[in-house]
Chains A and B, each alone.
Chain A
């Protein structure tokens, strides 16, 4: 067999090909805004999440109802995991693929700052301002302008398995503080009710940021100071991480927590393999579904436990629906957004996600239905939320904090050291 050889001509062909390729982008056609205001039938593409919040089945049913009301508007939905949602919005933006997108409360600064979302401030009905939960409005706003309508309130709720707690001889009231939670977990472990009483979504992902934010808030920490510089590497930020690490070292938290996302936590809790967890409200409905759960009727939602200074915030995980600035049918897209986020539609599908409308919480559907305990707890919790950093470079900042927290939890890097290194990087990123 003859051996392949590289001649000078072949070697030179590589940079020549690259050079030729580099010339090609000169032929690129710049993006132009192409608004179709013909008023004819519209075909919209909408991007949703296939995870927490409304189920795919719910969203498809909502879209079918919307189509019945607006036969001239056809909506083609796409469902992706939360972890893929942001990147899909960014990658598809130049092509104008999506008209309506679901956005997380941490993204408006980035997406609106880069002109990807349509400013809908002037389309807002003045009455909405007073009726929409305040914590959720911030999740679709940037510099005083609105870039969407809140769709799910999403406070990361505190849940516990009441039957396990009782078996361990622990008073439910003791779960009002994080110290009490640790004591309860020790009792659950000592009495062999469950091997690892606590389970968390501490995987190397955004889920970890939500849990860390919640504990950071409880331990009186903050992500950024008043000058917008990193502040999580001192005080409460460090204490929160040290607390997280201690629960792993004591075997109170499931070691697998550092690999789990919220969906995994839901499964663990629903299988009765852990007693206490933080999760989005959708876990409550599934925990009470006999097809998916072994703990039907045992899971209780409660206000987030308080830290040493008496603060017990929940991470704000609200999400909203936005119209893309590149949509060719912004009016039709806005009609879809207002329908899906409307109070009537949200009440109809309140099983998996509670409405963002304050007035909806007086509706018998919520006050007397199977969701009533969750509604009461979440309504109270929404008064106390902790925000993740509202910066345009949020994802890069989040990645640094995730890496630092994981470094402490997985490899045992001292909390102060890991967070100080991340703070330096975060300041560089924000300073860019």
Chain B
């Protein structure tokens, strides 16, 4: 029997095996995506609306000409850049540490994964109580240690709150970044480091001249993944600040949520969601293009 014949005979079985996941993807990914796209061109202002007016690109132009929307874009960009840089910096150092041959390394690796394994909703609630201005654990700890005279409001100002929430996001996701970088680090052969050491390169030089360049593909993947995730941040904001104070933590995803579900402006919310997708898509293309150029340069 030819290979083509075998493939044709296996086709029904393949389809049967794929069907469950296809149905799930269709139901929870493709259908909502399509519905949201369609809604963004309509005028939907009620969850029970039966007929909709077609408004073309009006919802998009309304958003793009709204200074409030651009303020959420700026906040989201600041959040994304700050949390991604922190995650990458700390994740790199953490990965370097976890790559050392030291006794009990399995314990440290397990410990690092804990924060990432914690559901975001639990982690965010935990931080909400830790940072609480009246009875937060952080204030209690620092006051008892004599480092603070009075309780501080750690998320008091709008900008301060954005950075603190970004740090909480970084705390949650740095372990994932560290594990991804560690996996890539372990593919670098010891002989490369040994040769560099024999040539007189110290630990810092070896890290900067060997480890970092060889991790570039992994760093690019981490950058793309984390940018996409950070751009969509919602749960941490919803739990800790609900977009405040003074709208300082109202990011694009939270703005989309407010428009769609609190205000029943489903079409505006849908358009905002697709603009978020567009921003992420463009950013991902830029990252991948940069990586492609740099990899060609290495060859």
Chain B residue numbers with a CB within 8 Å of A395 are 262-264
A256 touches B134 (CB 8 A): yes
Q: Bound state CA distance, A72 and B177, in angstroms?
A: 55
Which residues of B (216-249) have their CB < 8 Å from a CB of A? 217-218, 220-221, 241-248
A30 touches B50 (CB 8 A): yes
B257 to chain A: closest residue by CB: A87
A18 touches B34 (CB 8 A): yes
A5 to chain B: closest residue by CB: B292
Q: Bound state CA distance, A114 and B47, in angstroms?
A: 8
* New A-B pairs, 13, CB < 8 Å, besides A90-B264, A393-B263, A410-B156: A3-B291, A90-B261, A90-B262, A115-B48, A116-B47, A255-B153, A256-B134, A256-B151, A395-B262, A399-B262, A406-B247, A407-B247, A411-B158
Chain B residue numbers with a CB within 8 Å of A256 are 133-134, 151, 153
Partner of A114, one of B46, B134, B247: B46
A91 touches B33 (CB 8 A): no
Which residues of B (187-218) have their CB < 8 Å from a CB of A? 187, 217-218
B34 touches A22 (CB 8 A): yes
The total number of A-B Cβ pairs within 8 Å is: 147
A21 touches B37 (CB 8 A): yes
B264 touches A410 (CB 8 A): no
Which residues of B (268-284) have their CB < 8 Å from a CB of A? 281
Q: Sample 19 A-B pairs with CB under 8 A, ordered by A number.
A: A1-B218, A20-B30, A24-B34, A25-B31, A87-B261, A90-B47, A91-B47, A116-B48, A203-B244, A203-B245, A204-B244, A204-B247, A205-B244, A254-B134, A255-B156, A273-B134, A395-B262, A406-B246, A410-B248
Chain A residue numbers with a CB within 8 Å of B155 are 259
B288 touches A406 (CB 8 A): no
A380 is an interface residue with CB less than 8 A from chain B: no
B14 is an interface residue with CB less than 8 A from chain A: no
A410 touches B263 (CB 8 A): no
B135 is an interface residue with CB less than 8 A from chain A: yes
Q: Is the interface of A mostly helix, strand, loop or mixed?
A: helix
B148 is an interface residue with CB less than 8 A from chain A: no
Chain B residue numbers with a CB within 8 Å of A18 are 33-34, 37
Q: Bound state CA distance, A326 and B264, in angstroms?
A: 17
A194 is an interface residue with CB less than 8 A from chain B: no
B263 touches A22 (CB 8 A): no
Q: Bound state CA distance, A163 and B206, in angstroms?
A: 69
B246 touches A403 (CB 8 A): yes
A6 is an interface residue with CB less than 8 A from chain B: yes
Q: Bound state CA distance, A91 and B48, in angstroms?
A: 10
Known A25-B38, A204-B247: A6·B285 in contact at CB below 8 Å: yes
A228 is an interface residue with CB less than 8 A from chain B: no
B56 is an interface residue with CB less than 8 A from chain A: no
B262 touches A86 (CB 8 A): yes
B99 is an interface residue with CB less than 8 A from chain A: no
B34 touches A1 (CB 8 A): no
Chain A residue numbers with a CB within 8 Å of B9 are none
Q: Bound state CA distance, A418 and B140, in angstroms?
A: 35
Which residues of B (116-151) have their CB < 8 Å from a CB of A? 132-135, 150-151
B245 touches A3 (CB 8 A): no
Chain B residue numbers with a CB within 8 Å of A325 are 48
Q: Bound state CA distance, A268 and B136, in angstroms?
A: 12
Chain B residue numbers with a CB within 8 Å of A195 are 150
Chain B residue numbers with a CB within 8 Å of A5 are 288, 292
Q: Would you give the 0/1 interface string for A184-223, flagging 1 where the beta carbon is closer than 8 Å to chain B? A: 0000000000010000000111000000000000000000
Q: Bound state CA distance, A158 and B93, in angstroms?
A: 54
A264 is an interface residue with CB less than 8 A from chain B: yes
Chain B residue numbers with a CB within 8 Å of A407 are 246-247
Q: Bound state CA distance, A95 and B76, in angstroms?
A: 32
Size of the chain A interface, CB-CB below 8 angstroms? 56
B186 is an interface residue with CB less than 8 A from chain A: no
Chain B residue numbers with a CB within 8 Å of A110 are 264
Q: Bound state CA distance, A3 and B292, in angstroms?
A: 6
B246 touches A410 (CB 8 A): yes
B103 is an interface residue with CB less than 8 A from chain A: no
Known A406-B244, A406-B246: A24·B31 in contact at CB below 8 Å: yes
B47 touches A396 (CB 8 A): no
Q: Bound state CA distance, A176 and B35, in angstroms?
A: 56
Chain A residue numbers with a CB within 8 Å of B30 are 17, 20-21, 24
A93 touches B35 (CB 8 A): no
A344 is an interface residue with CB less than 8 A from chain B: no
Q: Bound state CA distance, A93 and B133, in angstroms?
A: 37
A103 is an interface residue with CB less than 8 A from chain B: no
A343 is an interface residue with CB less than 8 A from chain B: no
A31 is an interface residue with CB less than 8 A from chain B: yes
Chain B residue numbers with a CB within 8 Å of A6 are 285, 288-289
Which residues of B (10-65) have their CB < 8 Å from a CB of A? 26, 30-31, 33-35, 37-38, 45-50
Chain B residue numbers with a CB within 8 Å of A258 are 153, 156, 244-245
Known A256-B133, A407-B246: A87·B48 in contact at CB below 8 Å: no
Chain A residue numbers with a CB within 8 Å of B156 are 255, 258-259, 410
Known A25-B31, A30-B50: A411·B262 in contact at CB below 8 Å: no
B295 is an interface residue with CB less than 8 A from chain A: yes
CB distance from B1 to the nearest CB of A (A): 31
A25 touches B263 (CB 8 A): no
A267 is an interface residue with CB less than 8 A from chain B: yes
CB distance from B130 to the nearest CB of A (A): 14
Q: Bound state CA distance, A399 and B72, in angstroms?
A: 15
Chain A residue numbers with a CB within 8 Å of B132 are 259, 264
B34 touches A260 (CB 8 A): no
Chain A residue numbers with a CB within 8 Å of B134 are 254, 256, 260, 264, 267-268, 273
A411 touches B246 (CB 8 A): yes
CB distance from A8 to the nearest CB of B (A): 13
A94 is an interface residue with CB less than 8 A from chain B: yes
Q: Bound state CA distance, A104 and B285, in angstroms?
A: 46
A259 touches B246 (CB 8 A): no
